Structure 1
Amino acid sequence: MTGSAYLVEPIFKREDVIFHGIPPKTYEHRSDTSGKRVTLNFCGRCATTICLDLERFPDILGICGGTFDDPNWFECSKDNCRHIFTRSAQRGVVLPAGVTLYEEHALELDGTPNRPTMLAHMLLLDHGGYRGE
């Protein structure tokens, strides 16, 4: 859905986000896990994805980290980051130790937290015979 191996997506309250200029174009997708709508908002000129609008979480927007002038202005640490949907990660992706991992989303549809996987060491995903060579 993102066209990339990763999506760095800082989460903001919808009320704290204001877009100026031409409204973004949208593409709607249905999540294969929740069945809920995921709307990708993108630039109509260059097709850069700007943010995700999630039916499941109507009060937030996930802003694509690479769209900021300084993509490093927000802190990414084990305390405020997590990796979700690791079940569909590209082969060869290295998942760091100490960061909370979820095979799918961090929450069940009813809001119950999913059980995370914590690695004691780095893990190289092996999907389909990739040997890391």
Structure 2
Amino acid sequence: MNQEKLHKGSCQCGTVEYTLVGEPLTCYSCHCTRCQTLSGSAFTLSMVVSFDALELGSVKPSEVRFLHKDTEVVRHFCEKCATTLWFSSDAIPGFSAIKPGTFNDTTWYKPVAHLWMSSAQPWVKLDDGIKQYDTQPEMRELVELWQEGMD
């Protein structure tokens, strides 16, 4: 029998809690300039999951909406400590991009790809053996890479 693993997470202050009750579709790091600006860092990590696989605790995250290339994006965050927990978008309806650093245990996953290396900071040197893309690959390809890593 295949038992699903439960992965719990929360914001920095612990006010907003969630549980991932299904398997992720993929996990990647993005080096695009938009992600650099949103995170204030050189890149971000994202884990794509079905929104149905997210069970929320008693306190729901706050939301802020913005446009990215004519697509509405929603940032879900803790109103108290401002931790970004995940993003959702009409570009991938029914799915969310969790910020996997918010999991209580961050040792069970690793990204399958580095995206937008054409925009990476010049001092970022990667030799981790993970596939690199100069731009945005098809989501299907990222999902396949994740599935290959699960075998």
Which band: TM-score by shorter chain? Answer: 0.5 to 0.7
The percent identity for this pair of structures is 25
TM (normalized to structure 2)? 0.59
1:47 corresponding residue in structure 2:
82
Q: Which has the larger radius of gyration?
A: 1
Greater strand proportion: 2
2:125 corresponding residue in structure 1:
94
User: Unmatched 5+ residue regions in structure 2?
Assistant: 1-37, 142-151
Deviation string, structure 1 residues 44-86 (Cα, Å, up to 9, x no partner): 0000100011221112111111111111122x26xxx111222
Once the two structures are overlaid, the 10-residue window that deviates more, 91-100 or 50-59, is 91-100
Measure how far apart 1:16 and its partner are.
Answer: 0.6
Amino acid at match of 2:75: L
1:29 corresponding residue in structure 2:
66
TM (normalized to structure 1)? 0.66
2:56 corresponding residue in structure 1:
19
1:63 corresponds to 2:98: yes
Measure how far apart 1:12 and its partner are.
Answer: 1.1
Q: RMSD of the TM alignment (CA)? A: 2.2
Greater helix proportion: 2
Corresponding residue pairs, total: 104
User: Unmatched 5+ residue regions in structure 1?
Assistant: 114-133
Amino acid at match of 1:43: C
Runs ≥4 in structure 1, deviation > 3 angstroms?
A: none
Amino acid at match of 2:118: R
Higher relative contact order (CA 8 A, sep 6+): 2
